[in-house]
């Protein structure tokens, strides 16, 4: 299972983004979450999913604008699940707590952790860092094209929507690294799924849960 814990950057001096972000995440991903996305104390959001693609989508969305430090914890979750994510516990929650602490010091604002089979989680983090670094250099024009293609349009359709020539679309896509991202996302999804599977063949930790897990 994957626990995504996101802590708002600069929440003491900026507006509260947690309520709006929680609502948006639930609307977009709620049917693929094990429990409704939850808000912990203060400005922290937490989501639980068994789907690697959903976990990656959450990471990419939450890190896009630099407003959140995102920790991904991979591992077992105590069953049966409670009604609320913040009441759940297990290795994945312990790992997510460690990860979000590291993410606050990371240039990409992301960290991936596991209690067992840690190398698999760190391998996923390394590839994710490369992808997030690429995304971090994307211009507003590049994001404009990305959003259209992510919505299902072809490059030709996106170019028509933007009123630019096919050559301009191609140039914009190249500068934005869209082809690189489209190739990296499936590979990273498989790597996250492998890291999750690795947790099931290693004995779970008996480490105690902390109060806010």
Confidence band, pLDDT 50/70/90 cuts, at residue 13: confident
153 in any annotated domain: no
Start-to-end C-alpha separation, the chain: 15
| Position 212 pLDDT exceeds 90 | no
172 in any annotated domain: no
| Position 142 pLDDT exceeds 60 | yes
Residue 24: give the domain boundaries: 2-138+177-199
pLDDT in tens, 68-107: 999 999 999 999 999 999 999 999 999 999 999 999 999 9
48 in any annotated domain: yes
Mean pLDDT of 120-128: 96
- Give the Cα separation of 181 and 148 in Å (integer): 14
- CATH number of 45's domain: 3.30.70
CB atoms < 10 A from the CB of 162, how many?
A: 16
Q: What is the mean pLDDT of the chain?
A: 92
98 in any annotated domain: yes
65 in any annotated domain: yes
162 in any annotated domain: no
144 in any annotated domain: no
Question: For residue 2, what pLDDT is reported?
Answer: 98
Strand partners, 46: 5, 38
pLDDT in tens, 158-211: 999 999 999 999 999 999 999 999 999 999 999 999 999 999 875 544 444 444
| Position 157 pLDDT exceeds 60 | yes
- Is 103 within 8 Å of 5 (Cβ atoms)? no
Give me the number of domains the chain comprises.
Answer: 1
148 in any annotated domain: no
Check: pTM over 0.85? Answer yes or no.
yes
């Amino acid at each position: 299972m994957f626990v995504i814990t996101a802590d708002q950057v600069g929440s003491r001096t900026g507006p509260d983004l947690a309520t709006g972000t929680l609502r948006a995440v639930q609307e977009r991903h709620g049917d693929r979450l094990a429990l409704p996305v939850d808000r912990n104390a203060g400005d922290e959001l937490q989501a639980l999913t068994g789907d690697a693609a959903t976990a990656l989508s959450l990471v990419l969305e939450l890190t896009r604008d630099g407003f959140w430090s995102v920790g991904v914890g991979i591992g077992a979750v105590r069953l049966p699940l409670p009604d609320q994510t913040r009441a759940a516990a297990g290795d994945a929650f312990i790992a997510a707590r460690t990860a979000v602490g590291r993410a606050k010091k990371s240039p990409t604002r992301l960290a991936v952790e596991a209690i067992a089979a840690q190398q698999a989680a760190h391998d996923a983090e390394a590839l994710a860092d490369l992808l997030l670094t690429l995304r971090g250099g994307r211009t507003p024009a590049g994001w404009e094209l990305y959003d259209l293609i992510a919505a299902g349009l072809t490059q030709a359709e996106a170019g028509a929507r933007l009123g630019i020539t096919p050559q301009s679309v191609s140039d914009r896509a190249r500068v934005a690294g869209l082809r690189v991202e489209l190739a990296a996302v499936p590979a990273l999804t498989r790597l996250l799924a492998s890291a999750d599977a690795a947790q099931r063949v290693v004995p779970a930790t008996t480490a105690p849960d902390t109060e806010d897990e």
